[in-house]
Structure 1
Amino acid sequence: MFLKSLLTVSVALAMNAANANEFVIEKLAKPSSQKVSLTLDPNQDTFTGMTEIALEVLKPTNYIELNGVAYAVNMAQLLGDENCDLNNEMLKTEKVKFSCDEQIQPGKYTLKIDFSAPYNRQSVGLYKTLDQGTPYLFTQFEMSDARRAFPVFDEPSYKIPFQLTITAPTSQKVYANTPELKTTVNGDMTTHFFDKTPPIPSYLVAMAVGPFEELEIKDMPIPGRVITPQGKIHLADYAKENMPKVLAALEEYFGIPYVYKKLDSVAVPEFPFGAMENSGLVTYREDILLVDLAAATRSKKQRNVSIIAHELAHQWYGNLVTMKWWNDLWLNEAFASWMAAKMTKQLNPEFESHLDLPQNNVMALDARLSTKPIRKPIKTEADIMDGLGLAYSKGSSVLAMVENWIGEEAFQKGIQSYLKKFSYKNAEAADLWEALGKASNKDVASVLKSFIEQSSFPLVNIKQQGKKVTISQSRFANAGVDAPAQLWNVPVGIKYGAGDKVKTANILLNKQSQTLELDFEPEWIYPDEGALGYYRWVMDDAQFDALIKNAPQALSDRERLALLSATDALLDAGVISAAKLMQTLEVFVSDSHPRVANTALGYLVSQKNTFKDESNETLWPEFIRGAVMPAAKKYGLEAKAGEDGAVSQLRAGVVSLLGFDGEDQNVISKAKEQTQLYLQDPQKVDPYLAATYLKLAAFNGDKALLDQFMATFKTTKDPQVRTNMLAAMGFMGNTKLQNKVLAYTLTDNVTASDMRTILAGQSYTESRQALFIEWVYNNYEKVTQSLPPFFVPNLPYFTTARCDAKSLATTQTFFADKVEETPGYARTLSKLEESTNDCIALKKRELTSVNNFLKSK
């Protein structure tokens, strides 16, 4: 899955009956296969079904447990040597207890259940959505929502064959994980019989029903199609082109052919994640899978290739070999993210995907005391969702660091050995560590365990004397935070130089301090060669200044990007002042690579979010205009024929900063003009600037513009245009219009998955954020019912203004009595308290430094 989330106890303990939690199925029976027959009509609000589960009762018992949410059991029987009509009780722990008046003896049985249920309307389970007024049915079963669609052993260790039979109106097309074997027509209803799946966990079962269009994918070893809602198949060509290339590259890397009988890819108009790796029937947000090549940016194309690679990598890692329990979901997602980056770089080097550094997105979060390790005990879905984004980014970064340490060949050999050994089975993280260790003859487990089973990361201190470098480690922590002492096994790569000489040195830092002798005395040292380390670093002022002086020539583009992030982190740690950080960032605003310049600008302007207050609010617009001017003059504010995509992306950042933060009236007028052109014909507007223009126009727009956005949102068949309309509406600046947009989010026009997009812009400006927070409080019940259930625990983030103790206190008061009903709030509130207090402390410590810097401009 992409966002698509991890164990300090072993799976054996987690699953042991003595330690089992109330959300885990009691080990009284285990399934061997399951048949599911459903009658599905998208025009209705409910459906019916029957399932037959072949199972073995393991010990004498009066009941067995399955998972279940929201469905009603009409009949349940256990058929075997002795038959039993079962009573059922749906528990609050998302389990159903099926009881027999007589004791059930160990042996093999068939459990037969007839049931009925409503279609879900919050983007999970078997859910119904409307696209252009036409109803469709889709599924999203990960993490634990197959139980909403039919009775099932809904845990990843129950890996069995499933066979689906779906009866639907003859006018509808029907898809499942496997090829269709036959159909039978009975009046206006058709029954579709699908082949049996190989053993898969329940979260990979999938289906779709609706009046779809198809595009056949050729040049693959198995049949495949891109499947879209009506009127969108013309946008499927790019996915059709990429799918065979990605599949072939993955088959070659893994050394195992794709194992499923088909590969269909479905564009879903309402989808809570980025994509989902269902075996043989992969689902994607439609604005990811479908690409208008006439208006596609480089990042849009990269996203398409990368997420396809992510989901197809799962067909081996996650589907062919499956985790035993959810505590290893982090590894599923980390591995697929790491592999996607590798495949994207291999297949499309022009995207420069090697300049995406996922560690920079999450290290600030990982440093907090309230953050848990990415491998941790899991009981509920809220436990799984807690830190899911961290699992993707930290996990993939750590895997990349280990691959660099042991070598690509050994890493690939270990992966292939692991997949072959555990094909069609379940495995855990330790099994992969063992395979990588055997392939490399290195202690891989000690490195991975130290990063995966601990939160945070090392702060590596570099001290140089002549040719000798002393490297020491401590836990990275924000200034003033008393963090517990920790040690890691850290592969450290050092790049150093003097004059024209540049060399590298490597060491496994597995103690608090170690010394390394270099080949010559360096003039500068960069302690993260290749920018592959999951650590931060610090050095004395003279060393740091020498590095900054030499960085433009001596460091690669990727290394300079990592340098910017590392320097920004040193402000949090209290190692450098805000003024020193901003002076350093200014050096890179004119960097030779647009991506580096863009990142430097981003970090520079982000200081406004932390430090802006009454003492300096008039200084920021002029400072930002001055900061972006070098890039604006160098590249211009309008695209040039044949320019590099990185330049176009930088321009989008420059225009956004000039318009929003710099309040440049010429840019705002241009945005309004281009927005009207976009509403007439999106292909006539620079695709890199379109989203920025729309948001700027919205923020400065009137009711007539909002009406245009709403009309376009309802009628467009282009998924990217639809997403852009949602995002732009979220930026309407006028109070009355903001209220109108917020009211609109609670109508049937906006799906559960749409909500997050339209709400994302509501916190721009303090006054708009205050209005939005009050709206959430006043409409709490409707808001929570309109969001995907797994997203609800994030609501306190939306109601808390940055660096604001009073806002935090109001949030804490409002959500305090809701923690029992939604336990995920407790974690969110803990994280919010820590991050807010850290921000307040940083502002108090550095505000004078920032103001002096701004006044010197």
Structure 2
Amino acid sequence: MYRIVTATLVSLTCAASYQAQANEYVLSKVAKPISQSVAMTLDPNKDDFFGNTSIKLEVLSATQQLQLNGVAYLPSNIQLAGAKDCSMTSKQLDTGIVLFNCAHEITPGQYTLSMDFEAPYNRQSVGLYKTMDGGLPYLFTQFEMSDARRAFPVFDEPEYKIPFQVTITAPKTDKVYSNTPETKTTTADNMTTHVFAETKPLSSYLVAFAVGQFEEIPVSGMKVPGRVITTKGKIELAQYAAKQMPIVLSALEEYFGVDYPYAKLDTVAVPEFPFGAMENAGLITYREDILLLDEATASQNSKERAVSIIGHELAHQWYGNLVTMQWWNDLWLNEAFASWMAAKVTHQTHPEFESNLSLSKNYVMALDSRVSTKPIRKPIKTEADIMDGLGLAYNKGEAVLDMVENYIGVDAFNKGIRQYIKDHAYKNTEADDLWNALSKASGKDVGKVLSTFIEQSSYPLVNVSVDGKRLTLNQKRFVTAGTDAPAQRWTVPVSIKYGKGNTVEQTTVLLEKDSQTFELAFAPEWVYPDADAMGYYRWLLDEVQMTQLLNNAKSKLSVRERKALVLAADALLDAGLVSGGELLNILGEFIDDPHPEVVSTALGYLQSQKGTFIDESNQQKWAKFIAARAQVAIDKYGLEVKPGENTAVSKLRPTLVQLLAFEAEDRATIVTATKEAKSYLSGSDKVDPYLIGTHLTIAIYNGDSSLLDQAKRVFETTKDPLKRTRLMMALGYAPTKELQSDILAYTLTDNIKAPDLRYILAGQDYSKERKQRFRNWVYANYAEIKDKLPPFAVANIPYYTGSGCEADALIKTENFFKSKLATTPEYGRTLAKLEESVNNCVALKQREQASVEAYLNRL
């Protein structure tokens, strides 16, 4: 899915086993499934469905009770056939477990459990859910993490990998898809029954089906048949994805050394989808704005996103589907590996994207340093536990895998992965199985490194000092200034790049103690402590060393390394290791960097610091400062695309245009944006694909009700998924109090699907006044918002009202949501994170405001 010990390896297994046995949300081990057939009647025109299932199972110990998972469905006619038949009764628990009771003892042996069931279609994008698109009803599934149990009775835990045989009866006008090819169809009374081949062993969360009036095109060039499938009227946008599938799949087959393991590879573009994509075996689903695009007019950003997420989901076919985690505590590794593999294959197949400049670690290191953040491998009971820190699991996990591959070598890492896949095909594993494979392939103790990063939160701050050829490294936990956190130690592969004159060397050392000294090949003039930006740590140089590094950065460091340097400097402000003024000066050094990606990063962090330090007394100073810095890049690159320009310039330009419009309030920029937006809304495709989203936002923010109404009409009628998403993002910037209120009310109508609510809400905090109106709206409409969101997203609602740098807003948020902990306990974790985040921000502002003001006053 696309959307965070000791030195011994065996300790991981023991921990996982204990968690499973102690977890009341886990099924009892008195029985295990062998195979399951499911037959369902699914009519998208109706509001509910029914079916029956037959599960071959083995009872392992004498019992009068079997346990399966279930939410929302109603079972009936429950029969257990075997040594002694039994008509069973059922009771559904709040834990997602259904108890099936027999009047007599069930002795060990093989049985068949069968029952009928019925349930409503879900309308919050989970389980088996119904959505409308273009006036037509469609059915889709999203079973990860634990929502197969909403669709049919099942052993809904990843360790139970069994063959499933699915049969679906649907209106004959509808097409039906599942994980495997159809083997038979029969039609009677305007309904067609579709029988699908039995799957290879799968965990229940990977079962999938779709029903509706779909269109499809074949995918050629793969070793198995495949199709790209869309809702009606969108198939012309599927060509780019159809071209990329075989390219990405071939690269992955080469890397894993094993062919794609399933009988077909169908891809479905879903108009209502709660995540980015889902790796269902043989029937992968994607948000349609990821998969569907016009190759002739799409930006490279859109193409890169499509290829990367295709790579992520296809990587899962081996790592996740063919080899599956034993329990959800290793979901982090499932997702981290798929993200890591996607980055590798995207750069391999499309080097022109420069996707190697995307540094996953920097999306999450600020979060990971907080004391309220949990390790990415942690005990899991409920879906709320899984979702807590899931983004951290993706990005930290990917960054740590980067670091390990860099430490043991690309060839050894690949050798270990290949052996791991071959040894565990169609089985379940735990993290230590992979560590053992990588350790055996490399001759290095990989578990010793990994356990320190995955089983404890945060990361080290590596203090670097040089005395001639002697390099001394000291480590301690990176924390926000003023934070009291327990001492920790990591086993850290530290990659050092250093130079003297024209000579540049690179080495990796293993920092295992609080302090260690190493010898370099020569006494360097400068040192960069994160060669290739592969380390999941922060680093600190003294003032002289930092100056030397900055003097050599543009000529001696790669683009990726310079970008990482900007990000590392920003983090040092949080730790109290540089002042606010010093940071603004460092960021300013990179505004004229040779690569636009670095310029964009520096400008972005200037904007971020403005959000912390701006107040009524310095608004104009900040606007002038940022506009002046942006002007450096504008003078260099211009505001209009030039023939043959580097695509990286096109990617930077939206940042420059946005700063001109929102910071400098430049009328010419606003007029141009409004003109381009109106042309786009009128149906023209002669717009800059990189700028049009920014132009829409600027136009809406500076527009009127007429323009807003036009944007809503186009949003409701366009068949272009990317256009819909751009418009949702822009609608969030409705300009006046009245229009903002209208748009917020609009989000709760059927025009905005449950997973899409976040897109419009993203624009609500641009100004202090707008943010306060939004907070008031959330409080007033809390019940409706909670009912609309997908269940896993409910825990995020306190962020709507409490995030930022305002102590008063935090207090009100805590008072409001603490009263709801009894019914929604996951708010407790969110509030703890919010409290730490806001308090850190307030303390930073108090500590560094004078330094920032002094810097701004000098300009």
TM-score by length of 1: 0.99
Q: Is this contact kept in 2: 1:42–1:128, CA < 8 A? A: yes
**Mean CA deviation greater in 432-441 or 642-651:** 642-651
Corresponding residue for 1:756?
Answer: 758
Instruction: Output one character per residue of 1:653-690: Cα deviation in whole Å (capped at 9) or x when no partner.
Output: 11111112332222112111111011113411101001
Corresponding residue for 2:852?
Answer: 850
- C-alpha displacement of 1:10: 4.4
Instruction: Output one character per residue of 1:169-206: Cα deviation in whole Å (capped at 9) or x when no partner.
Output: 00000000000001011120000000000001000000
Corresponding residue for 1:260?
Answer: 262
Counterpart-to-counterpart distance in 2, 1:18 and 1:59: 18
Query: How do 1:544-555 and structure 2 match up within 5 A?
Result: 544-555=546-557
Corresponding residue for 1:221?
Answer: 223
SS at match of 1:97: strand
Query: How do 1:312-711 and structure 2 match up within 5 A?
Result: 312-711=314-713
Q: Letter of the aligned partner of 2:387 in structure 1?
A: M
Corresponding residue for 1:33?
Answer: 35
Say whether residues 1:112 and 2:110 are aligned partners.
no
Query: How do 1:233-248 and structure 2 match up within 5 A?
Result: 233-248=235-250
- C-alpha displacement of 1:74: 2.4
After superposition, the CA RMSD in angstroms is 1.3
Corresponding residue for 2:105?
Answer: 103
Counterpart-to-counterpart distance in 1, 2:682 and 2:294: 16
- C-alpha displacement of 1:75: 2.0
Counterpart-to-counterpart distance in 1, 2:5 and 2:715: 38
Instruction: Output one character per residue of 1:125-146: Cα deviation in whole Å (capped at 9) or x when no partner.
Output: 0000001111100000000000
Percent pairwise identity: 59
Say whether residues 1:49 and 2:51 are aligned partners.
yes
Counterpart-to-counterpart distance in 1, 2:315 and 2:351: 19
Corresponding residue for 1:833?
Answer: 835
Q: Which runs of 5 or more structure 1 residues have no equivalent in the other structure?
A: none
Counterpart-to-counterpart distance in 2, 1:663 and 1:482: 43
Q: Letter of the aligned partner of 1:47 in structure 2?
A: F
Q: Is this contact kept in 1: 2:177–2:209, CA < 8 A? A: yes
Q: Letter of the aligned partner of 1:764 in structure 2?
A: Y
Q: Is this contact kept in 1: 2:217–2:235, CA < 8 A? A: yes
- C-alpha displacement of 1:603: 0.8
Corresponding residue for 1:778?
Answer: 780
SS at match of 2:619: coil
Q: Is this contact kept in 1: 2:13–2:432, CA < 8 A? A: no
Instruction: Output one character per residue of 1:199-237: Cα deviation in whole Å (capped at 9) or x when no partner.
Output: 010000000000000000111100000000011110111
Taking a change above 3 Å as real, the CA distance of residues 462 and 599 of structure 1, as seen in their structure-2 partners, is same
- C-alpha displacement of 1:253: 0.6
Q: Letter of the aligned partner of 2:756 in structure 1?
A: D
Query: How do 1:185-196 and structure 2 match up within 5 A?
Result: 185-196=187-198
Out of 99, 121, 124, the position equivalent to 1:122 is 124
Out of 816, 819, 837, the position equivalent to 2:818 is 816
Q: Is this contact kept in 1: 2:728–2:759, CA < 8 A? A: yes
Q: Is this contact kept in 2: 1:6–1:375, CA < 8 A? A: no
**Mean CA deviation greater in 16-25 or 607-616:** 16-25
Q: Is this contact kept in 2: 1:77–1:113, CA < 8 A? A: yes
**Mean CA deviation greater in 428-437 or 506-515:** 506-515
Corresponding residue for 1:297?
Answer: 299
Q: Letter of the aligned partner of 2:361 in structure 1?
A: Q
- C-alpha displacement of 1:9: 7.6
SS at match of 2:132: strand
- C-alpha displacement of 1:618: 2.4
Q: Is this contact kept in 2: 1:6–1:330, CA < 8 A? A: no
Q: Is this contact kept in 2: 1:30–1:158, CA < 8 A? A: yes
SS at match of 2:805: coil
Q: Is this contact kept in 2: 1:370–1:831, CA < 8 A? A: yes
Q: Letter of the aligned partner of 2:2 in structure 1?
A: F
Number of aligned residue pairs: give it.
Answer: 856
Instruction: Output one character per residue of 1:252-286: Cα deviation in whole Å (capped at 9) or x when no partner.
Output: 11011111000000000000100000000000000
Say whether residues 1:724 and 2:726 are aligned partners.
yes
Q: Is this contact kept in 1: 2:5–2:452, CA < 8 A? A: no
Corresponding residue for 2:802?
Answer: 800
SS at match of 1:31: strand
- C-alpha displacement of 1:620: 1.5
Counterpart-to-counterpart distance in 1, 2:254 and 2:21: 42
Counterpart-to-counterpart distance in 2, 1:11 and 1:466: 46
Out of 131, 139, 156, the position equivalent to 1:137 is 139
Instruction: Output one character per residue of 1:516-535: Cα deviation in whole Å (capped at 9) or x when no partner.
Output: 11122111100011110000
Say whether residues 1:309 and 2:336 are aligned partners.
no
Q: Letter of the aligned partner of 2:480 in structure 1?
A: N
Counterpart-to-counterpart distance in 2, 1:602 and 1:39: 52
Counterpart-to-counterpart distance in 2, 1:807 and 1:17: 37
Taking a change above 3 Å as real, the CA distance of residues 213 and 651 of structure 1, as seen in their structure-2 partners, is same
Out of 196, 208, 227, the position equivalent to 1:206 is 208
Q: Letter of the aligned partner of 1:366 in structure 2?
A: D
Counterpart-to-counterpart distance in 2, 1:18 and 1:449: 20
Q: Is this contact kept in 1: 2:19–2:379, CA < 8 A? A: no
Taking a change above 3 Å as real, the CA distance of residues 788 and 18 of structure 1, as seen in their structure-2 partners, is closer
Counterpart-to-counterpart distance in 2, 1:856 and 1:337: 44
Instruction: Output one character per residue of 1:502-543: Cα deviation in whole Å (capped at 9) or x when no partner.
Output: 111221011111111112211110001111000000011000
Query: How do 1:72-87 and structure 2 match up within 5 A?
Result: 72-87=74-89
Q: Letter of the aligned partner of 1:526 in structure 2?
A: Y
Counterpart-to-counterpart distance in 1, 2:197 and 2:803: 53
Taking a change above 3 Å as real, the CA distance of residues 589 and 16 of structure 1, as seen in their structure-2 partners, is closer
Query: How do 1:56-75 and structure 2 match up within 5 A?
Result: 56-75=58-77
Q: Which runs of 5 or more structure 2 residues have no equivalent in the other structure?
A: none
- C-alpha displacement of 1:822: 1.6
Counterpart-to-counterpart distance in 2, 1:719 and 1:752: 16
Q: Is this contact kept in 1: 2:249–2:314, CA < 8 A? A: yes
Q: Is this contact kept in 2: 1:17–1:27, CA < 8 A? A: no
**Mean CA deviation greater in 660-669 or 342-351:** 660-669
Q: Is this contact kept in 2: 1:6–1:391, CA < 8 A? A: no
Instruction: Output one character per residue of 1:695-750: Cα deviation in whole Å (capped at 9) or x when no partner.
Output: 11111121111111111011100001111111111111211111111111111111
Taking a change above 3 Å as real, the CA distance of residues 438 and 6 of structure 1, as seen in their structure-2 partners, is closer
Instruction: Output one character per residue of 1:36-73: Cα deviation in whole Å (capped at 9) or x when no partner.
Output: 00100010000001010000111111111111111111
Taking a change above 3 Å as real, the CA distance of residues 547 and 256 of structure 1, as seen in their structure-2 partners, is same
- C-alpha displacement of 1:13: 4.9
SS at match of 1:165: strand
Q: Letter of the aligned partner of 1:2 in structure 2?
A: Y
Counterpart-to-counterpart distance in 2, 1:385 and 1:600: 31
Counterpart-to-counterpart distance in 1, 2:168 and 2:539: 57
Instruction: Output one character per residue of 1:447-491: Cα deviation in whole Å (capped at 9) or x when no partner.
Output: 011111110001000111111111111110010111111111111
Counterpart-to-counterpart distance in 1, 2:824 and 2:110: 39
